[in-house]
Amino acid sequence: MIDQDVLERVLAAAVRTGADFAEVYAEDKRSTSVAFDDGRVEQVTSGRDRGAGIRVIKGDTTGFAHTADLTETGLAAAAEAAAAAASQGGGGARTVALTRSPVRTVSPIEQFPDNVRKADKVALMARMDDAARSAGAAIVQVSAAYGDSRKHMLVANTDGVFVTDEQVRTLVRITAVADGDSGMQTGYQSAGLTKGFELFREVNVEELARDAARMAITKLNARPAPSGSMQVVIKQGSGGVLFHEACGHGLEADLVAKGGSVYRGKQGELVASPLVTLVDDGTMTGEWGAFGYDDEGHPSQYNVLIQDGVLTDYMWDYLRARNEGRPRSGNGRRQSYQHLPMVRMTNTYVLNGTTEPDDIVRATGSGVYVAKLGGGSVNTASGDFVFGMTEAYLIEDGQITEPLREGNLIGNGPAVLRDIDMLGNDFAMGNPGTCGKDGQGVPVGDGQPTLRVKSLTIGGTAA
């Protein structure tokens, strides 16, 4: 996108007034989306977003400017604006020499989706629509969506870093609505990986659609969820979002530094059940949050955050690592060239335990089995959270029995970590997600084996 000699001149100009650090982040992103609703194409869109953001740091002050003009003139103007924001004076000259790092291919691509005909993408949606409707006459509405993106990114800075990366992601989603005596009920499924169109050799879109329809139909005969504290078993893959929200954000170094994390100052302490080892892994081939380099040019890493229940480390970006004298962890991420990077998760998950998942259910006399969690919210300073249960069942006498209407899981992140008393050996990643933080969204993955929490509050409507 930008020649090396141009980058060197722009970076040298950015620190001419005495700044400590300057960085150019550039990207060229192409994307396609298809919206398919009730048997017809609602919208097919393609787009391209191309530009650069320039960050200049002097002391504790950061200046930032972005531009869609990737000529040397456009980049120089953005660098001047960012430098002016970071510094009101100073002087001197600085030469910047860049050393290009090798390409890191974390997720090889076999079939780039931008080379696939739009008609073939629409055909996927039609197959999903047909499959969902084939589940029964109770299905009255089906909405499907497809999306892909191919992003080339470049990072260069005054530390001599010069890296490029290519990230390709492909995604499908399906929502089915069933109508019955109890009203309308919804089922949802999705699949997405950091892969190309070959995703659909691994993912059977008809099965995905039928599962969404099954979920909706099952809930037509569901009973209201109970209320109160009880044992909760969470199915493999479906509860990763709980760990992402309830403790992952609290392990991001910027929130820790601001005093916005319940885990501040607890490195080396037992913060979870000894069964729990929590990892954030940007190198996880094919997963939704995988990449070769983060958005500050640091290689993605496998980071152990909690080891056997003990908090071992936080996640770091350039700025927080520099301030604390710590090594970076490959967690500097941004939504686009128009945004500053910040500490963000990648693929966050709990490692396998040793217990058979069926044994976890059999050991639970009564409780709730959560097959799928929905969205939620968390207070990172206290760890308190609320998550919706989009698919759940009663556990009675060690057996999964009646389906439940949607209710909430209510609890506290640190308390849940400590209260995990059984951990399965059936690890799986969950659905692809977009994590929002400070107005920015980035792709993330999460997962876990089947596990049991010995006490969680269910917010249901049953008397």
Q: What is the pLDDT of residues 74-88, one digit of tens each?
A: 999 999 999 988 875
CB atoms within 10 A of CB 18: 15
137 and 269 together in one domain: no
Asked if 262 and 348 sit in the same domain, the reply is: yes
pLDDT in tens, 87-100: 754 444 445 677 88
> What is the Cα–Cα distance from 137 to 125, expressed in whole angstroms?
19
Q: State the residue range of the domain holding 84.
A: 4-220
The predicted pLDDT at position 88 comes to 54
Place of tokens 């009646």: 402
Task: Over range 386-394, report the average pLDDT.
Answer: 94
| Domain co-membership, 275 together with 383 | yes
* pLDDT tens sequence across 198-213: 999 999 999 999 999 9
* Rounded CA separation 370/350 (Å): 17
- Cβ atoms within 10 Å of 60's Cβ, excluding its own: 8
pLDDT at 97: 73
Q: Is 325 exposed, middle or buried (0-12, 13-18, 19+ CB in 10 A)?
A: exposed
Tell me: do 63 and 196 sit in the same domain: yes
Query: Using one digit for the tens of pLDDT, what is the confidence trace for 233-279?
Result: 999 998 888 888 888 999 999 999 999 999 999 999 999 999 999 99
SS3 438: coil
Backbone angle region of 4, left / alpha / beta, with phi > 0 → left and psi within -120 to 50 → alpha: alpha
Same domain, 172 and 295: no
Question: 3-state class of 246 per DSSP?
Answer: helix
Does an H or E element contain 119, and which? Answer: helix 118-133
User: In angstroms, what CA-CA distances link 23 with 129, 306, 398, 401?
Assistant: 46, 32, 57, 57
Structural domains of the chain, count: 2
- Of 167, 192, 220, which one is at a domain's C-terminal end? 220
204 and 236 housed in the same domain: no
Distance from C-alpha of 197 to C-alpha of 96, rounded to nearest angstrom = 40
Specify whether 69 is located in the same domain as 149: yes
Q: What is the mean pLDDT of the chain?
A: 94
pLDDT value for 95 = 57
Amino acid code (one letter) for 443: P
Note the pLDDT tens digit of each residue in 410-434: 999 999 999 999 999 999 999 999 9
Same domain, 207 and 240: no
State how far the Cα of 118 lies from the Cα of 138, in Å rounded to an integer: 31
* Alpha helices (runs of H) in 335-384, residue ranges in sequence order: 357-362
Question: Which DSSP string corresponds to 281-324?
Answer: ETT-TT-TT--SB-TTSPBP-EEEEEETTEE---B--HHHHHHH
What average pLDDT score do residues 132-151 get? Answer: 97
Give the contacts of 3 (CB within 8 A, at least 6 positions apart): none
pTM beyond cutoff 0.75: yes
d(CA 55, CA 21): 8
Which of 200, 220, 240 delimits the end of a domain? Answer: 220
Are 180 and 235 found together in one domain? Answer: no
pLDDT, one tens digit per residue, over 290-309 is: 999 999 999 999 999 999 99
Measured over all CA atoms, what is the biggest interatomic distance in the chain, rounded to whole angstroms? 77
Distance CA 460, CA 11 (A): 57
Question: What pLDDT does 294 receive?
Answer: 98
Mean pLDDT of 50-76: 94
Percent of residues in the chain assigned helix, strand, coil, to nearest 5: 20, 45, 35
Beta bridge partners of 456: 230
Task: Determine the average pLDDT of the residues in 41-66.
Answer: 94
CATH for 204: 3.30.2290.10
pLDDT higher than threshold 90 for residue 339: yes
Residue 154 is predicted with a pLDDT of 97
Residue 372 in contact with residue 389, Cβ under 8 Å?
yes
Where does a domain end: 220, 241, 260?
220
With a CB cutoff of 8 Å and minimum separation 6, the contacts of 384 are 378, 411, 412, 413
Q: Which residues contact 436 (CB under 8 A, 6 or more apart)?
A: none
User: Do residues 278 and 418 share a domain?
Assistant: yes
- Are 200 and 338 in a shared domain? no
Q: Please, are residues 254 and 343 in contact by the beta-carbon 8 Å criterion? A: yes
Share of the chain above pLDDT 90, in %: 87
Same domain, 133 and 246: no
